[in-house]
Chains A and B, each alone.
Chain A
Amino acid sequence: MAASHLTALQEELGSAPPRGLAALSEEEIAELAGALRERKEDQALALKQAGDKAFGQIPRLLRGPVKKMVLRG
């Protein structure tokens, strides 16, 4: 089981961090978790902005069928 100070990292990873990271201090773990969180947030923002722009680039005639396919499921 991961050491308790690894919890923040586990939340960002979505799975247990490698045990060797228990050698890090609480501050260092928080710093590493923060770096991963920032990267995830940057990427999520880039993905959202890209998704918002994408439909405008599709030829008008294709927008309906494409939207149906993307939104299905």
Chain B
Amino acid sequence: MTASLEQRSEILKLARVLWVEPDSLAYLEKVDARDVKAFRLKAVDALFDDDEGALKRIADTSGHIPGGVAAKIGRKALGPVLSARITGLLEPEDAVEFAGHLPPEFLADIAVELDPRRAGGVLAAMPTDSVVEVADELQRRGEWVPMGRFLGHLPLATVAAVVATLSDEALLQIAFVLEDKKQLDDVIALLPAERHQSVIRAAAEHDLWPEALDLMAHVKKKRRRELVALAAAQDEDLLASLARSVEENGLEAELTALIELLPEEDRAAIGS
């Protein structure tokens, strides 16, 4: 049985929440992606809802402790798990002040543990430079799932600054697990035209055609047509790698739906 791209994306995200290998959740391929997503969101709630009262009181005390001291406590004593839980309960201006005293590596540790749905105000208030530093660290670690969860909670200007620093490979990996794929068209619109080509080449270089096809399927139709035409215009080696990947991953239906956007005379190149 071949999982759909949507199922694969959701299994990757759930595996990250449960800290297990995605392969260990392969049995979820027989469950609709929407149900896997609904389960993940409930699991995050189950992880975050316990002890919220006590955590809120800790968060409230933070306003009475100097920012530098609170940051030191966060780093040396609370650690990333508890800091992440408290972050969502802080006033955004307090959280931003604490973050200013913490290195990007520790902020990245917190980011991995954070539920962005509970920290939207904090994320929106973070200075762009700090977000970019943390995103660099997460990119270095290959933490695509947390990055995909965060992008939807950042102002577009911050997203633009982050996307400008991402490699083409990172962009494909993050796009695949982006929480709200309706955002993908806006993200791709932030890229200069020459990066559209380099992203397609990265799909071949890093064996990320499923991620690239998923990206194409989720942008608006006009942009989808442009990206498919760009892919079809690539050299034979690149198109051969696409054909291999489609066969290996059982993505014939996905590719066919994209090819149908091309003028008939151009379909043979990419479809053969």
> How many angstroms from the CA of A44 to the CA of B46 in the assembled complex?
12
Contact between chains at A39 and B61 (CB < 8 Å): no
Tally of chain B residues near chain A (CB < 8 A): 42
Contact between chains at A69 and B46 (CB < 8 Å): no
Do most interface residues of chain B lie in helix, strand or loop, or is the interface mixed? helix
Q: Which residue of A lies closest to B30 (CB)?
A: A23
> How many angstroms from the CA of A29 to the CA of B76 in the assembled complex?
38
Contact between chains at B17 and A46 (CB < 8 Å): no
Contact between chains at A14 and B49 (CB < 8 Å): yes
Chain A CB within 8 A of B51 CB: yes
Taken residue by residue from 24 to 66, chain A's Cβ proximity to chain B (1 for < 8 Å, 0 otherwise) reads as 1100100110011011101110110111011111110010011
Q: Indicate whether A70 sits within 8 Å of B81 (C-beta atoms), given known contacts A20-B31, A59-B69.
A: no
CB distance from B126 to the nearest CB of A (A): 22
Contact between chains at A51 and B64 (CB < 8 Å): no
Interface pick from B35-43, B160-168, B174-182, B187-195: B35-43
Q: What B residues does A54 contact at CB under 8 A?
A: 58, 73, 77-78, 82
> How many angstroms from the CA of A14 to the CA of B27 in the assembled complex?
22
Q: A20-B32, A51-B78, A54-B78 are in contact. List 17 more A-B contacts (CB 8 A).
A: A13-B39, A14-B49, A18-B34, A20-B36, A21-B35, A46-B79, A47-B81, A47-B82, A49-B79, A50-B77, A54-B58, A55-B77, A58-B65, A58-B73, A66-B61, A70-B57, A72-B57
Partner-B contacts on A (CB < 8 A): 12-15, 17-21, 23-25, 28, 31-32, 35-36, 38-40, 42-44, 46-47, 49-51, 53-59, 62, 65-66, 69-73
A-B contact pairs, 28 of them (CB 8 A): A12-B46, A14-B46, A14-B49, A17-B39, A17-B42, A18-B35, A21-B31, A24-B31, A35-B20, A39-B18, A39-B43, A40-B47, A42-B19, A47-B85, A49-B79, A50-B79, A50-B82, A54-B82, A57-B73, A57-B77, A58-B69, A58-B73, A59-B69, A65-B64, A69-B57, A69-B60, A69-B61, A73-B57
Partner-A contacts on B (CB < 8 A): 17-20, 24-25, 27-28, 30-32, 34-36, 38-39, 42-43, 45-47, 49-51, 53-54, 57-58, 60-61, 64-65, 69, 72-73, 76-79, 81-82, 85
8 nearest A-B pairs in the assembled complex, by CB-CB distance: A20-B35, A50-B82, A18-B35, A18-B38, A53-B77, A46-B81, A57-B77, A54-B77
